[in-house]
Amino acid sequence: DVKVTQSSRYLVKRTGEKVFLECVQDMDHENMFWYRQDPGLGLRLIYFSYDVKMKEKGDIPEGYSVSREKKERFSLILESASTNQTSMYLCASSLFGRGGTEAFFGQGTRLTVV
Amino acid sequence: DQQVKQNSPSLSVQEGRISILNCDYTNSMFDYFLWYKKYPAEGPTFLISISSIKDKNEDGRFTVFLNKSAKHLSLHIVPSQPGDSAVYFCAASDPGAGSYQLTFGKGTKLSVIP
């Protein structure tokens, strides 16, 4: 059974803190993604990675960075958390390949920045 | 600029009737389309997909229709059940863009009334 696991379901952090969100997948997928979901805005792509140590900016990368040192792990880093980064964060992974492939999502991390 | 649009934020349907969720896209390079279902405080789960070489794909109670000339797809759920109440996201992929990300719509909240 496919599995994408995010390290925390709920997090509360203070403004200015450095925040790490971790994601691990056990499907040997090449591609990994970080999205955030906000009411009325849907899912917006922050960063993605198609290989170890590779990363690409998505639609809203400002204020975030990522790290992919191992194939199965993709970390999202909020360098200095701000209240407008309060959101649901979703990690996903998918197989490399043309022709279309579905992405599998983790359970999400609800981050509140106070 | 929104490339995938779900113009109905919400939809209410009586149990047993048909639910029709709509999605429009603007990027003619999209060639793979997916529907995801999301419950509150959980990650999205894949529901059904369709390649641009097809105009219909069916899986149990779920059918996706694709009209390429109109750049429109729809998800039909028949018969609708209370457990189908969730937010449904339409997503599209353009493998030719050199990335493997999915572009999501803003979602439609479906409520199935018992």
How far apart (Å, rounded) are the C-alpha atoms in residues A112 and A39? Answer: 14
Question: Which pLDDT score, from 0 to 100, does residue A81 have?
Answer: 97
The predicted structure's pLDDT at residue A97? 64
CA distance A14 to A81: 7
Of A97 and B66, the one with more pLDDT:
B66
- For the segment B19-34, what is each residue's pLDDT rounded down to a tens digit? 999 999 999 989 899 9
Task: Kindly indicate the confidence band of residue B96, based on its pLDDT and cuts at 50, 70 and 90.
Answer: low
- Give the pLDDT confidence of A53-94 residue by residue, as tens digits: 889 999 899 999 999 999 999 999 999 999 999 999 999 998
* pLDDT over threshold 80, residue A2: no
- State residue B104's pLDDT score: 92
User: In a 10 Å sphere around its CB, with 0-12 CB exposed, 13-18 middle and 19+ buried, how is residue B110 labelled?
Assistant: buried
Query: Amino acid identity of B104?
Result: F
Chain A / chain B CB contacts < 8 angstroms: 66
Closest residue, chain B, to A41 (C-alpha): B106
* B57 neighbourhood in chain A, CB within 8 Å: none
Per-residue pLDDT tens over the stretch A6-26: 999 999 999 999 999 999 999
| Closest residue to B104, CB basis, from A42, A94, A98 | A42
The pLDDT assigned to B99 comes to 58
- Chain B nearest-CA distance from A33, in A, is 8
Tokens representing residue A75 in the block: 């970390």
Predicted local distance difference test score (pLDDT) of residue B97: 59
- The minimum CA-CA distance between A52 and chain B, rounded to whole Å, is 15
More confident residue, B97 or B67: B67
CB-based contacts of A61: which residues, under 8 Å, 6+ apart?
A: A46, A47
**B94 pLDDT exceeds 90?**
no
> Which residue type, as a one-letter code, is found at position A89?
Y
What was the pLDDT predicted at A11?
96
